[in-house]
Amino acid sequence: MKLTTRSRYGTRMLLDLAQNGGQGPVRVSEIANRQGISVKYLEKLSRILKKAGLIRSMRGSKGGHLLAKPPVDISMGEIVRALEGDLNLVTCWTERTSCPRLKTCATSKLWQEVSKALLERLDSMTLDELLKSSAIDDTPGACEPGKPL
């Protein structure tokens, strides 16, 4: 499984809002500039994230986006599900009729366990934890506060 840019860039957008939203709404153009992501793409992601209840938008001269809830209450699983949809590695065990070999398949259980482990890990990590870990990571290329995530 490979996460698309929706998850990677959407997470960066939410991390940016967590870092920079303390003073009020943050404009997409500011996030785009800091993160090196196109405004148009971030606008598309913001609609998805708003529909999922992860951000809220304000119009007007002082408008922009804010997190809809505290970073500690937003799980990475919530973010990735909102942006990617179904996270199961295979559909054979979620859509029972899709595979005629399901009853005799030696790998079905493995894929189910791997999918479950992935979802549990994403659900156990919050945006707040990710933000804190990026702020203290001193490895080359690690994110620093105020630098692109």
pLDDT tens readout for residues 70-102:
999 999 999 999 999 877 777 776 665 667 777
**pTM passes above 0.85:** no
pLDDT tens readout for residues 26-60:
999 999 999 999 999 999 999 999 999 999 999 98
Please answer whether residues 131 and 18 qualify as being in contact, where contact means their C-beta atoms are separated by less than 8 angstroms: yes
102 in a structural domain: yes
Q: Which structure tokens are listed for 111?
A: 């894929």
147 in a structural domain: no
Give me the CATH number covering residue 110.
1.10.10.10
One DSSP character per residue, 16-33 reads: HHHHHGGGS-B-HHHHHH
75 in a structural domain: yes
145 in a structural domain: no
141 in a structural domain: no
Number of folded domains that form the chain: 1
Helix then strand count (H, E) for the chain reads 6, 2
- Give me the chain's average pLDDT, please: 85
Which residue segment(s) compose the domain that 78 sits in? 5-136
